[in-house]
Amino acid sequence: MKRIFAFALVFVMLFSMTSCMKDGFEGADKVFSASGMSITLTENFVETSFEGYDACYDSATVAVFCLKEPFSMAEGVEDLTLDQYAELTITANQAHNPTLKEVDGMPVMEYTFFNEDTNVNYAYFSAMYKSGDAFWAIQFACDAELYDAHEETFVKWAKSVVFDAAA
């Protein structure tokens, strides 16, 4: 199942990188909302869908995946701190050899994934949040060769995330 998800993710990334859309960093700001979460990206992103995620946004060089993990998924989850959730996320993703760092008060997991089918190495910047009813992971993905140039913008976009009062 994980292999299917990874393959599908790579397909989405390849499609986004070969599309005729402009780079996601150009253009006016645009707010996208889903499941009680809003994020400010640019007008060059389009909303898409990807199985297992609550929202996905795609541009020519970047894909954004939003995962909401409601507190109702297991008893006591709401009692976890954001740092504890981040540590659990790191543990669950050990196969990718992730690193955890703090960026402007946000826990961020970084890792790379090499797709042997396409011979492309992808880099991920996954910011984690705790809202009123869930933990969230907002994941920014791009070709690893572009990561250093994009990281500052990923931080800007990650800091733009807001949640509805009920969420």
* The residue to which tokens 């008893």 are assigned: 75
Any domain includes 29 = yes
- The CATH number that applies at residue 138 is 3.40.1000.10
Total number of domains in the chain: 1
Any domain includes 167 = no
Whole-angstrom CA distances from 126 to 18, 91, 98, 158, 166 are 23, 14, 10, 9, 23
From first to last of the 167 residues of the chain, give the pLDDT tens digit: 344 344 444 444 444 444 433 456 778 999 999 999 999 999 999 999 999 999 999 999 999 999 999 999 889 899 999 999 999 999 999 999 999 999 999 999 999 999 898 888 999 999 999 999 999 999 999 999 999 999 999 999 999 999 997 65
